[in-house]
């Protein structure tokens, strides 16, 4: 049998690495990105570039999307030039972006009305994991649809966890990211306090990072904070977006995630200070500048 044809929509920090993994596995791939230069960069690896999301999806058996937020996802899937209008009957549509559960469920319904299977498959991991094919896929959708896309998930993944029906992956991903955001904000405040205390920073950090607070995430972001290297691996503004979505999901379920609300405030201050396009570890910078 011929290899399934795949379309990949969105070639940013994460999507670009994921698309390269598919190309490296020999999977026929058509790509679309709003900034065409990012798509053209994949041509030497064997990708075909489409002019619109609709064109990219037209001949694909599986269509992946990896974009920034609900608005970007709507623009990619809906409308005259959206992927949903071009996707052939029976294709599996896979949304890997971190989105609100409400929008994921709306998109799944639109896909079903158009004769397509839909899977929400957001990921954990960042730039380096996307490039290395070590992402963890958190999946919501039918078992049958997941089985159809497993051969494509394989080159991109370290693990694949099926949470349940549509929307399950989206919800757990938001919970995951709000816990991460709380940790990053807390470590930024802790490091700022250490730096203002006069205590030797390296010694103090050895206590924190080698003890209970030293999660893998905290260790990674602390290294970036101390080095002052805010090259984007996970954009600060996207963590703020995820925290906001998580707060809204909690409210819809009668839960008030107070720690997420507090962390969101820390990230929003960093965005207001001009750090939104930097790595999320730059959340420490306004705390360092505070008088």
User: Which residues are marked as active site?
Assistant: 173
Assigned token pair, 100:
């609100």
Task: State the burial class of residue 21 (Cβ atoms within 10 Å of its Cβ: 0-12, 13-18, 19+).
Answer: buried
Please state the three-class secondary structure of the chain as a single string.
CCCCCEEEECCCHHHHHHHHHHHHCCCCEEEECCCHHHHHCCHHHCCEECCCHHHHHCCCCEEEECCCCHHHHHHHHCCCCCHHHHCCCCCEEEECCCCCHHHHHHHHHHHHHCCCEEEECCEECCHHHHHHCCEEEEEECCHHHHHHHHHHHHHHEEEEEEEECCCHHHHHHHHHHHHHHHHHHHHHHHHHHHHHHCCCHHHHHHHHHCCCCCCHHHHHHHHHHHHCCCCCCCEHHHHHHHHHHHHHHHHHCCCCCHHHHHHHHHHHHHHHCCCCCCEHHHHHHHHHHCC
Residue 22 and residue 155 in contact, taking contact as beta carbons nearer than 8 Å: yes
């Amino acid at each position: 049998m011929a290899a399934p044809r795949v379309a990949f929509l969105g070639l940013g920090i994460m999507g670009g690495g994921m698309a390269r993994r598919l190309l490296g596995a020999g999977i026929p791939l058509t790509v679309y990105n709003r900034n065409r230069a990012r798509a053209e960069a994949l041509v030497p690896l064997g990708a075909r570039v489409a002019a619109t999301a609709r064109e990219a999806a037209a001949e694909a058996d599986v269509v992946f999307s990896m974009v920034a937020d609900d608005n970007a996802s709507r623009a990619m899937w809906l409308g005259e030039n959206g992927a949903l209008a071009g996707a052939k009957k029976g294709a599996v549509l896979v949304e890997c972006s971190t989105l609100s559960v409400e929008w994921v469920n709306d998109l799944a319904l639109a896909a079903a009305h158009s004769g397509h299977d839909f899977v929400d498959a957001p990921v954990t991991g960042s730039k380096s994991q996307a490039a290395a094919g070590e992402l963890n896929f958190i999946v919501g959708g039918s078992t049958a649809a997941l089985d159809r896309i497993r051969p494509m998930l394989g080159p991109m993944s370290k693990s694949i966890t099926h949470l349940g029906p549509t929307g399950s992956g989206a919800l757990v991903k938001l919970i995951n990211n709000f816990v991460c955001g709380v940790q990053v904000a807390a470590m930024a405040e802790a490091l700022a306090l250490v730096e203002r205390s006069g205590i030797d920073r390296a010694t103090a950090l050895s206590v924190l990072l080698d003890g209970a607070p030293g999660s893998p995430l905290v260790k990674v972001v602390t290294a970036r904070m101390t080095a002052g290297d805010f090259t984007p691996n996970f954009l600060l503004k996207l963590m703020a977006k995820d925290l906001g979505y998580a707060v809204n999901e909690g409210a819809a379920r009668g839960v008030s995630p107070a720690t997420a609300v507090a962390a969101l405030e820390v990230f929003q201050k960093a965005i207001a200070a001009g750090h939104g396009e930097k790595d999320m570890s730059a959340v420490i910078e306004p705390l360092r500048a505070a008088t």
